[in-house]
Amino acid sequence: MTAADWTTAPHTGAPRRAHHVNLAGTDWPLYKLEALVVGLLVFVVTLAVTTALQPAVLLAAGATVTAWWVRRAHWARARD
């Protein structure tokens, strides 16, 4: 069973970090999970509207990559 542990504060003495989620013992940066959720939502909506798999996959991939890099840049800037 997978457990999620939402940690929002950095550990004492550790360098300041972005928000992370602990999934199955591995820390995932929150921006990665946000990008995956955006991609899934875009995929489902596009598939429902167009009823074609190819545009849904392409738009979802593009939205996921865009969200991933934009949020990553945001967290990198916020840490500085």
Give the closest residue to 40 by CA, choosing from 57, 27, 21.
Answer: 57
At 60, list the tokens: 């979802």
Dmax (CA) for the chain in angstroms is 52
Please say if the pLDDT value at position 78 is more than 90.
no
Quote the crossing angle between the two packed helices 53-79 and 30-50, to the nearest 10°: 160
Please say if the pLDDT value at position 10 is more than 80.
no
> pTM for the complete prediction?
0.69
First to last CA, the chain: 36
Q: What is the DSSP letter of 14?
A: S
